[in-house]
Amino acid sequence: MTDALLPAAGRPLEKEGEDYFRKGCNPLAQTGRSKLQNQRAALNQQILKAVRMRTGAENLLRVATNQKVREQVRLELSFVNSDLQMLKEELEGLNISVGVYQSTEEAFTIPLIPLGLKETKDVDFSVVLKDFILEHYSEDGCLYEDEIADLMDLRQACRTPSRNEAGVELLMSYFLQLGFVESRFFPPTCHLGLLFTWYDSLTGVPVSQQNLLLEKASILFNIGALYTQIGTRCNRQTQAGLESAVDAFQRAAGVLNYLKETFTHTPSYDMSPAMLSVLVRMMLAQAQESLFEKISLPGIRNEFFMLVKVAQEAAKVGEVYRQLHVATSQAPVKENIPYSWASLACVKAHHYTALAHYFTATLLIDHQLKRGADEDHQEKCLSQLYDHMPEGLTPLATLKNDQQRQQLGKCHLYKALTHHEEATREASLCKKLRDIQVLQEVLSAAHQRTRLKYTQHQEDDDLLNLTDAPNIVSKTEQEAEMILPQFSKVTVTDFFQKLGPLSVFSANKRWTPPRSVHFTVEEGDLGFTLRGNTPVQVHFLAPSCSAALAGAKEGDYIVSIRGVDCKWLTVSEVMKLLKSFGGEEIEMKVVSPLDSTSSMHNKCATYSVGMQKTYSMICLAIDDDDKTDKTKKISKKLSFLSWGTNKNRRKSASTMCLPAVGVSRPHVKRKLHAPFSVLSSESSLY
């Protein structure tokens, strides 16, 4: 994990000793979580090395013809596979290191599962963005060094977000900033040569792409992962802490579901639709578990209706964890999800089902129907507690008959013991779960409590007379639901707004290089009118006016007047500026928009170590006129490997024709909401 770049003045900062970092980020924090993340980064590098060695050995085995060489390669390949398996098991150990992420308060509760943050490699935007600014915007890229540094600093800060709302806001601000960057610098028809690499949080396998889609998806994943870490950190011994945990897990589920629906073909295993569906289920299950703990926190009164409510709430938690365990056992999720996560889901399913039967047994054994009691209400509650009554029993008769109540209660206790024993057995089968001391203590305490109550009412012939207890219908007063990410609450500033309004000055628009128009105002008449908001366009140009004779055209955008940047000025402001010069000669720089040209359907290549290369088509809108133009020549797409050579050639050529640009006035940064949708229409395509 590399240190964050020191931010320039004027940014929100946090202080840590004598060093300053961007708000929401502290890369020098020596916490257990940061140490685990450092171990994850180191493991990712080792896994990458092992995967490369395995790929090389497999290629050698494929081409080798000498039998001795093939035997030696097979031996080496077996060692490499063994090392790779050990590294992945070590990574799984980090994923189940739940103790580090839990609240610092001592709590007798089952730990919750957080997600680890995805790791990435450094990306240098400076050279590529400077070249693009020069070639596409006809401006000197060196004038934007501070903005490029701000972007790189923000990305670096997102690698070590703090585990609070400030860290979430930091990641969201970078995600929104990527929307501006994509519109400014990433045309759909070509790649700039930037390679974004992210490591799978579950397998450690790196995946690389040349566009921002992987970058956006990975940031979204980390936002969801950070919410899970916030949820596990909450103090679950207080109502406020449990409410915060429920909110955090619901937000994590919302972000992960948004990622699944928006990026449908992500090449990374941890962001595949199947895996994200399981992770969403996991977060909602943990939110439902926290809701149950919120109900149980004040204490469970030994009262009939209270016990009915708690039994059904516990059955609801057991049901969602049972569904989660089934989902984790399906291919292809089963091969990639940590075994300890699936085991813990199974353990919790049995544990909370056992609690539901225990509370049902308590209400049947400890409470007798007395005179004056609300028989109808109790009968209704008991009938709604089961999906079906045992054969030969009715709700009201069971409530009035003490022997039937005792017998049915013991059936529930026996079934609760069965589930407790199964939960303990599942926990003992997984080495990672055996090492979680608090989990073993909670399971043991619940088991002993149920066994004690069963022993108090046990009879010699119970094994012959006890029948299978009916299933308890799950019911909850508050069901955990996803909370979608609220990006609109985060306000960001476009780092590159000096380039002009995005509606005109973007990567998918084309215009002529700026040209100077020298003219004078004759008797207070400009000879043309202005229209538009920002930037302002020349409109209704008189053919005989001095501006038209100097080269102005209708539809031209005014970018500067006598060195004053006009890209963000309104019509009234530009008109006021023009009239301020009186009869003096005015130098006005304008650009003319060019018609959009059709381009080839662009293939987006994904480079993934240890995974099959995938290609998909990004479909672009093609004008009808361009469809019928059979004679138009389409230039051949340059490969990524030859991009650097051609880039230098284009750079040298564009440097020779760099237009003279007047010194623009310092531009005041404005806080902007993203003027475009968070994701472009192509964002879900790979």
pLDDT attached to residue 144? 94
pLDDT attached to residue 40? 65
More confident residue, 534 or 630: 534
Phi, then psi, of 492 in degrees rounded to 5: -125, 160
Whole-number percent of the chain with pLDDT over 90 = 41
What does each C-alpha distance from 472 to 73, 307, 320, 385, 411 come to in angstroms? 58, 12, 14, 6, 13
DSSP secondary structure letters along 309-358: HHHHHHHHHHHHHHHHHHHHTSTTHHHHS-HHHHHHHHHHHHHHHHHHHH
Spatial CB neighbours of 338, under 8 Å, sequence gap ≥ 6: 92, 95, 96, 202
pLDDT attached to residue 462? 61
Range from 277-291, 356-370, 558-572 carrying the lowest mean pLDDT: 356-370
| pLDDT of residue 456 exceeding 80 | yes
Please, are residues 639 and 646 in contact by the beta-carbon 8 Å criterion? no
The structure tokens listed for 206 are 């790196």
The whole-angstrom separation of Cα 685 and Cα 681 is 8
pLDDT attached to residue 660? 38
Return the SS3 of 201.
coil
The whole-angstrom separation of Cα 674 and Cα 175 is 11
pLDDT attached to residue 33? 53
Confidence of residue 673 (pLDDT cuts 50, 70, 90): very low
The whole-angstrom separation of Cα 197 and Cα 682 is 20
Spatial CB neighbours of 147, under 8 Å, sequence gap ≥ 6: 495, 496, 498
The structure tokens listed for 13 are 């900062």
For the purposes of burial, counting CB atoms within 10 Å of the CB of 370, is it exposed (0-12), middle (13-18) or buried (19 or more)?
A: exposed
Q: Could you tell me where the DSSP H helices lie in 487-601? A: 546-549, 571-579
pLDDT attached to residue 22? 65
Q: Which amino acid is at 26?
A: N
The whole-angstrom separation of Cα 552 and Cα 541 is 8
Spatial CB neighbours of 193, under 8 Å, sequence gap ≥ 6: 128, 210, 640, 643, 644, 647
Average model confidence (pLDDT) for the chain?
79
More confident residue, 5 or 379: 379
The structure tokens listed for 60 are 């050698």
Confidence of residue 585 (pLDDT cuts 50, 70, 90): confident
The whole-angstrom separation of Cα 317 and Cα 328 is 17
Whole-number percent of the chain with pLDDT over 70 = 76
What does each C-alpha distance from 630 to 173, 515, 552, 624 come to in angstroms? 45, 33, 33, 12
In the DSSP assignment, the letter for residue 157 is H
Q: What's the rounded mean pLDDT across residues 230-254?
A: 94
| pLDDT of residue 337 exceeding 70 | yes
Residue 522 bridge partners (DSSP) = 525
Q: What's the rounded mean pLDDT across residues 596-619?
A: 38
pLDDT attached to residue 109? 84
The whole-angstrom separation of Cα 523 and Cα 520 is 9
Range from 136-140, 383-387, 494-498, 635-639 carrying the lowest mean pLDDT: 635-639
- Smallest Cα–Cα separation from 200: which of 343, 333, 98, 47? 47
More confident residue, 381 or 622: 381
pLDDT attached to residue 7? 38
pLDDT attached to residue 443? 95
Phi, then psi, of 120 in degrees rounded to 5: -145, 170
Range from 163-167, 254-258, 322-326 carrying the lowest mean pLDDT: 163-167
Q: What's the rounded mean pLDDT across residues 537-559?
A: 90
Beta-strand relationship, 602-608 and 515-520: unpaired
Q: Which amino acid is at 497?
A: Q
| pLDDT of residue 9 exceeding 80 | no
pLDDT attached to residue 78? 84
| pLDDT of residue 142 exceeding 90 | yes
Spatial CB neighbours of 156, under 8 Å, sequence gap ≥ 6: 2, 4, 5, 122
pLDDT attached to residue 353? 96
Confidence of residue 28 (pLDDT cuts 50, 70, 90): low
The structure tokens listed for 560 are 């500067």
pLDDT attached to residue 371? 55
Please, are residues 218 and 226 in contact by the beta-carbon 8 Å criterion? no
More confident residue, 317 or 367: 317
| pLDDT of residue 382 exceeding 90 | no
Return the SS3 of 616.
strand
- Smallest Cα–Cα separation from 529: which of 544, 539, 518? 539
Spatial CB neighbours of 543, under 8 Å, sequence gap ≥ 6: none
| pLDDT of residue 661 exceeding 80 | no
- Candidate ranges 193-207, 340-354, 596-610, 637-651; pick with highest mean pLDDT: 340-354
pLDDT attached to residue 616? 34
| pLDDT of residue 667 exceeding 50 | no
pLDDT digits (tens, 9 = 90+) for 55-112: 888 888 888 888 888 888 888 888 887 877 777 767 766 666 655 555 555 567 888 9
Range from 175-179, 232-236, 581-585, 597-601 carrying the lowest mean pLDDT: 597-601
Range from 168-182, 361-375, 510-524 carrying the lowest mean pLDDT: 361-375
Q: Could you tell me where the DSSP H helices lie in 458-484? A: 462-465
pLDDT attached to residue 92? 65
pLDDT digits (tens, 9 = 90+) for 297-322: 988 888 888 999 999 999 999 999 99
Q: What's the rounded mean pLDDT across residues 375-398?
A: 79
Buried b (16+ CB within 10 A) or exposed e, 633-648: eeeeeeeeeebeeebe
Please give the radius of gyration of the chain, using alpha carbons only, rounded to the nearest integer.
33
In the DSSP assignment, the letter for residue 460 is T
